[in-house]
Structure 1
Amino acid sequence: MLEKLLRKKTLEMDSSISDRLTKVKNGDIPSHVAIIMDGNGRWAKQRSLPRFAGHHEGMKTVRKITRIANDIGISVLTLYAFSTENWKRPKMEIDFLMKLPGEFLTTYLPELIEQNVKVEMIGNTDGLPVHTKEAISRAMHETAQNDGLILNFAMNYGSRLEIVETVKEIARLAIANEIAIEDIDDALIDAHLMTAHLPEPDLLIRTSGEVRLSNFMLWQLAYSEFSFTEVLWPDFDEACMLNAIEEYQMRNRRFGNVEGDKGS
């Protein structure tokens, strides 16, 4: 009897998600969604589990959110997986986090290929362990021809460092007389960022109740819509993702204009 009730409840939830998904797809879909995945450690602590368990559960959430993002029709999903500041964490935790890309991509790569997902990465690969770089490189290579959702991992990424490196590159071009000082504008800076080939995020989501950017895509998020939720990342599911998109679709994006229409 209990099994039948649970099965019925699951079917009702699936039906609800399906109905909401259909409505969302008929609305204004954000081209690029960026997510700060926060709360893995707190999720584990609430359950008297080691932090590793939270990170592992968070990996499963990445799969769920990638699938729903693809179903919605989002073009780019950027996930803040490991920041330049995260190296300050205990070595055992860092070592575990560096193994997760390999585990995730080995487990789910066939599914990503089947769903026409293209894996990309922004960040400094020089500081990553060999096994982490190899896992990401393999996934990027095997999905390079896919033209669906871009699943973009921000690994060993820090926005201030990205901007500093961009400024250095533009300065080198100026010193070499390849550009004039007058050529430096928003478009030139955009063209030298790690995200040069991607649209700017329309929507930023941060989980776990924290309300800050934590050195994430500071330049790119200038006119993004923000969505903050108390839900911890391992508990962030398809319904939560739809909540964020539905909230986005109710916003009136002006981009600095007094009477701008949403999405203009």
Structure 2
Amino acid sequence: MPNRKDHTIADAEHIGPRHVAIIMDGNGRWATQRGRPRLFGHRAGAKRVREIVETCPDIGVEYLTIFAFSTENWKRTQVEVAGLMSLFRRYIIKETRAVHSFGARVRFIGDRVQLDKKLIALMDELETLTENNTRVHLTVALNYGGRDEVARATRRLAEDVAAGKLRPQDVTEETLPTYLDTCVLPDPDLVIRTSGEARISNFLLWQSAYAEYEFVDTLWPDFSRKEFTSLCRSYGIRDRRYGGVKR
């Protein structure tokens, strides 16, 4: 597992973000503005993902985490949820060859229990197929919620304490991350949210403690390679002190 302290120190000298996380918001509004159903916007947003993934190696981004479906999204209409699940299945089938050929390693985070078995099988197959790829690490948050992730991690930690595998006095802020869905990933350096909303919506709550944030007005289907590159370059000129004072 990457050492989070080492990662923080190294990134202080890094020109751009090593790990970018994106809340891909605005698909529904993009479709509504065009007089189309919300699922039309979700399909357009799915197409945008490949362009952003392919941009990452060119600008030094090694890890990209995207928020595809939250634990709260089940509250949407049954039609929209069913359409999204169908879209996820079709997208994985369609993009598997391209993603693998590009050299991306794909991981999924979130609680898979509520997902249908066919979708879970496709997710497992894609993770296995790409597990040796290193060009860019793409993590897809699907049925993911930050609070839910921390609760599940805490439950597993408590089970280990109860089983005598871990002493309560040995639990520190370095312990819990090893139980999180993202335990093999470095923390995000930059979190981007599209669509003009200025909130983090329960996304990577623990991991983003020292991340920089960018809230942009662009709706996700219109989010371009150029804008992504510009935001990553702007990150490089920020003064990141991690609670300290620059001398």
Q: Taking structure 1 as the reference length, what is the TM-score of the superposition?
A: 0.85
Q: Deviation at 1:213?
A: 0.8
Q: Distance in 2 between matches of 1:137 and 1:175?
A: 30
Aligned 1:1-264 pairs, distance under 5 A: 28-259=15-246
CA offsets per residue over residues 140-196 of structure 1, 9 Å max, x none?
121112122111000000110111111122222222222222211111011111111
Structure 2 match to 1:7:
none
Partners in 2 of 1:137 and 1:176 — Cα distance? 29
Moved more, 170-179 or 197-206: 170-179
Distance in structure 2 (CA, Å) of the matches to 1:82 and 1:64: 19
Tell me the CA shift for residue 80 of structure 1.
Answer: 0.4
- Sequence identity percentage: 40
The one-letter amino acid paired with 1:151 is L
What number of residue pairs does the alignment pair up? 234
What SS is found at the alignment partner of 1:127? coil
Contact 1:210 1:228 in 2 (8 A): yes
Q: How far apart, in 2, do the equivalents of 1:101 and 1:31 lie? A: 26
- Kindly indicate whether the alpha-carbon contact (under 8 Å) linking 2:18 and 2:61 is maintained by their aligned counterparts in 1: yes
Higher share of residues assigned helix:
1
Larger-gyration structure (1/2): 1
Distance in 2 between residues matched to 1:237 and 1:107, nearest whole Å: 21
Q: Which amino acid aligns with 1:95?
A: A
CA–CA separation in structure 1 for the residues paired with 2:172 and 2:113:
29
Gaps of 5+ in 1: 1-26
Measure how far apart 1:244 and its partner are.
1.1
* 1:131 Cα deviation from its structure 2 partner: 2.4
What's the CA shift for 1:240? 1.2
- Distance in 2 separating the partners of 1:167 and 1:113: 34
Instruction: Could you tell me which runs of 5 or more consecutive residues in structure 2 were left unpaired when the two chains were aligned.
Output: 1-13
TM superposition outliers: structure 1 runs of 4+ over 6 Å: none
> Does structure 2 retain, via aligned residues, the 8 Å contact 1:117–1:150?
yes
Q: Alignment RMSD, CA only?
A: 1.3
Distance 1:144 1:181 in 2: 34
Kindly indicate whether structure 1 or structure 2 has the higher relative contact order, using CA contacts under 8 Å at least 6 residues apart. 2
